[in-house]
Structure 1
Amino acid sequence: MSEAPEFLLTTPDSVASDPDAIEIIRMWWSKNEPVMSVKPAFNDPHKFGEMLAIAARHMAHGYAVRHGHNEREAYARILQGLSDVVKADNVQTVAEPVSKGPETKGSVQ
């Protein structure tokens, strides 16, 4: 897996300095589909829904900054994509074998 340096994600300083920080999800677009490792770390799934909503807002801002999109329109498009998948109700979870090592792909921890 290789990415151009301008697309590399880094750990925010506030997270790196927080001994109680928990990584919840890693996501990739691979072979024309989303692939992720998830950790259901909250007792109440509602909290994860809150995180997804906040992530959608942040991503809309990212589209505005990086690609010049209108932030409100980008947010609406993101929510439309979410709604389309929810309405289709055809997503299946396929768990990949867990590999040994620090990076695991497609695993639920």
Structure 2
Amino acid sequence: MTPQEAIAALDKDIAAYGQPVTLKRGALSVETRAFVRGYKPAELIGGLKQGDSAVIFSPTGLKDWPDMKLKNGDQFVTAGKTRNIEIADPVYMGSTLVRANVTVRG
């Protein structure tokens, strides 16, 4: 699978099953889509807390975000609730960003 194929597959799934979200950093605000799910009790290790959520972004959805890089302290809004990005874990195939795995809290 090429990076472009991986991104296209993720884009298709997010379009079908993702939800609208807004990313904020200072005055910057970007609307996009992402997968959002809570962590299961067995996953609450290593500093994760009940109420934290896992979020998956496609690089396509981050195209209007600075350098397509999320960082600790950026804000995440979905369903009217503002939360803070705690961990941003980019996933690359070679040198190409193919997804961003993020933990949000709040």
TM-score by length of 1: 0.26
Q: Which has the higher contact order (CA 8 A, sep 6+)?
A: 2
Max Rg structure: 1
Which structure features the higher share of strand residues? 2
User: TM-score, normalized by length of structure 2?
Assistant: 0.26
